[in-house]
């Protein structure tokens, strides 16, 4: 009797208190998202500060410009949807914003390192990652002061949302092209990558000090597969890979990602309470582009048949030429850097749109030669959400657990 009693207690003790791998991971229910980045995740920052992303941006989902450089939703939006959270308002947007479940500090054209050129010279946003970090810290401090005064309580995050929230990062691509714009060689660009990543690491540490615990970090994409890069920089035939991407730029992106992974490993050691998920967006985007290229014809065949719905299945590649921009003007890629998506001209007092949208953005990968379509972003989201491209391999819902 005595013995039996003891074992029952012991069993209960074991079940409740001992770490068990199947019990230790919990679903996170993030109440807020705080995002940092560039145009891949900008939901209105650059538009608020430097002018609207013009129509037809936003046409597919929002049916009007919505601060995004895309026809519809971005990865950030799909992440928010997954947690049942509203789409993130841009921190810089003073009208109609609702920050109750997070804020977005990203702006199109942002780099990690502050640039020494103005936006009118180079096109890079002055809201670089260090500035985004300052804005975040300002947002945290002032939102809590104002809530405590009893104002805007339904528009600002609760205090504990800052520690329970998910911090997402998608930035780095513009730091790589910035060097090429200054006529640097690939070796010269590689040489400054460690400095760029040191600055990235500093920002993660700053957010941690302010209470951030869950980090979801996208690595940088295959920038050498983007029409604007192939159009802008000199690429020789020998530098084009078998799928049509420019190798030197992709090599630099891969180098950046390798170093980024080192930084993540280092941060895990230095920040004992942080759960940091590294997401290999490069591989997902590259496979989208290469598979679309391979399967494009097959897809066209399906679309002409009666089984249109079949092609809409999750995960199935259903895209046309991945290098052909949907919204643009002329040339090999339907991309002209002087006549960007939505560009207008006034002729005899009438406004003429020079760079219009294609008929069906849902079968395009590239929206405007630089950014992805909503359909591409959705496909990418479906690939990454279950953790199969993450290190550690945890799904989005479990990203608050240390691996
Ligand atoms: C800007 O100039 C400073 C001073 O010359 C230099 O240290 C820094 O690396 C430059 N930044 C970039 C992004 O080139
Ligand atoms: C802000 O958004 C949240 C979540 O969607 C909502 O519950 C709240 O009412 C909104 N606040 C205002 C003032 O509209
Ligand atoms: C880069 O090279 C081009 C062509 O030689 C030149 O026109 C441009 O001014 C150079 N840019 C910089 C920043 O040095
Ligand atoms: C503008 O109007 C003038 C006068 O009616 C006409 O001659 C000209 O062809 C028009 N230009 C264009 C581009 O339509
Ligand atoms: C994750 O999702 C993708 C796309 O839906 C699928 O191909 C893959 O098999 C999934 N991986 C796991 C581990 O569930």
Residue 27 token pair: 């679903």
Determine the Cα–Cα distance for residues 219 and 365; give it in Å rounded to an integer.
19
Report the range of poorest mean pLDDT among 18-27, 56-65, 82-91, 316-325: 18-27
Residue 304 pLDDT more than 80? no
What is the whole-number distance in angstroms between the Cα of residue 132 and the centre of ligand 1? 19
pLDDT, tens only, 61-92: 999 999 999 999 999 999 999 999 999 999 99
For ligand 2, atom 5, the nearest C-alpha belongs to 86
Of 110, 233, 125, which is closest to residue 180 (Cα–Cα)? 233
Q: What is the pLDDT of residue 294?
A: 67
H or E element at residue 391: strand 390-391
- Among all residues, which ones are annotated catalytic? 39, 368, 371
Residues 6 or more apart whose Cβ sits within 8 Å of residue 321: 292, 293, 296
Q: Which atom of ligand 1 is nearest to the CA of 178?
A: 13
Burial-class residue 346 by CB neighbours within 10 Å (0-12, 13-18, 19+). exposed
* Pocket of ligand 3 contains residue 300 by CB under 6 Å: no
Beta bridge partners of 366: 372
Query: Contact at 8 Å (CB) between 68 and 57?
Result: yes
Report the pLDDT averaged over residues 12-19.
Answer: 45
Mean pLDDT computed over every residue of the chain? 90
* Pocket of ligand 4 contains residue 347 by CB under 6 Å: yes
What is the whole-number distance in angstroms between the Cα of residue 351 and the centre of ligand 4? 13
β 350-353/344-347 pair status? antiparallel
* Pocket of ligand 4 contains residue 348 by CB under 6 Å: yes
Ligand index nearest the alpha carbon of residue 157: 2
pLDDT, tens only, 30-48: 999 999 999 999 999 999 9
pLDDT, tens only, 242-274: 999 999 999 999 999 999 999 999 999 999 999
Preceding peptide of 301 cis, ω within 30°: no
Whole-model pTM over 0.75: yes
Q: Three-state SS for 217?
A: strand
Determine the Cα–Cα distance for residues 102 and 44; give it in Å rounded to an integer.
14
Beta-strand ranges (E) seen in 223-373 are 275-279, 344-347, 350-353
Residue 201 token pair: 């690491």
Determine the Cα–Cα distance for residues 175 and 354; give it in Å rounded to an integer.
30
Query: Contact at 8 Å (CB) between 367 and 361?
Result: yes
* Pocket of ligand 3 contains residue 182 by CB under 6 Å: yes
Report the pLDDT averaged over residues 188-209.
Answer: 98
* Pocket of ligand 4 contains residue 346 by CB under 6 Å: no
Domain ranges of the chain: 27-310+369-398
Report the pLDDT averaged over residues 136-155.
Answer: 97
Superfamily of domain 27-310+369-398: SGNH hydrolase (3.40.50.1110)
Report the pLDDT averaged over residues 350-358.
Answer: 94
């Amino acid at each position: 009797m005595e013995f039996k009693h003891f074992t029952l207690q012991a069993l209960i003790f074991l079940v409740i208190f001992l770490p068990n791998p199947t019990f230790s991971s919990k679903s996170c229910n993030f109440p807020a998202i705080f995002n940092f980045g560039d145009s891949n995740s900008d939901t209105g920052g650059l538009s608020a500060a430097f002018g609207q992303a013009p129509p037809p941006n936003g046409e597919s989902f929002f049916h009007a410009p919505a601060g995004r450089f895309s026809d519809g939703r971005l990865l950030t939006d799909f992440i928010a949807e997954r947690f049942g959270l509203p789409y993130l308002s841009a921190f810089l947007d003073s009208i109609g914003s609702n920050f109750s479940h997070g804020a977005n500090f990203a702006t199109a054209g942002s780099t990690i390192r502050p640039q020494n050129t103005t936006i009118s010279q180079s096109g890079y946003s002055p809201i670089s990652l260090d500035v985004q970090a300052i804005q975040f810290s300002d947002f945290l401090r002032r939102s809590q002061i104002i809530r405590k005064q009893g104002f805007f309580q339904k528009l600002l995050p609760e205090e504990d949302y800052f520690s329970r929230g998910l911090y997402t990062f998608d930035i780095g691509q513009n730091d790589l092209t910035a060097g090429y714009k200054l006529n640097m060689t690939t070796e010269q660009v590689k040489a400054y990558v460690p400095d760029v990543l040191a600055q990235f690491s500093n920002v993660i540490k700053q957010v941690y000090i302010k209470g951030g615990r869950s980090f979801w970090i996208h690595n940088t994409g295959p920038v050498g597969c983007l029409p604007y890069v192939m159009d802008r920089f000199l690429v020789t035939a020998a530098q084009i890979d078998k799928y049509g991407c420019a190798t030197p730029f992709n090599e630099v992106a891969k180098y950046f990602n390798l170093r980024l992974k080192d930084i993540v490993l280092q941060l895990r050691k230095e920040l004992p309470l942080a759960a940091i998920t590294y997401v290999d967006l490069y591989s997902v985007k590259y496979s989208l582009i290469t598979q679309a290229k391979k399967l494009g014809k097959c897809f066209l065949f399906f679309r002409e048949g009666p089984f249109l719905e079949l092609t809409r299945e999750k995960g199935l590649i259903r895209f046309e030429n991945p290098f052909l921009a949907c919204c643009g003007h002329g040339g090999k890629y339907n991309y002209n850097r002087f006549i960007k998506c939505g560009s207008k001209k006034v002729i005899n007092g009438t406004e003429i749109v020079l760079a219009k949208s294609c008929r069906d953005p849902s079968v395009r990968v590239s929206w405007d030669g630089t950014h992805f379509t909503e359909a591409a972003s959705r496909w990418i989201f479906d690939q990454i959400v279950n953790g199969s491209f993450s290190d550690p391999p945890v799904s989005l819902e479990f990203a608050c657990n240390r691996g």
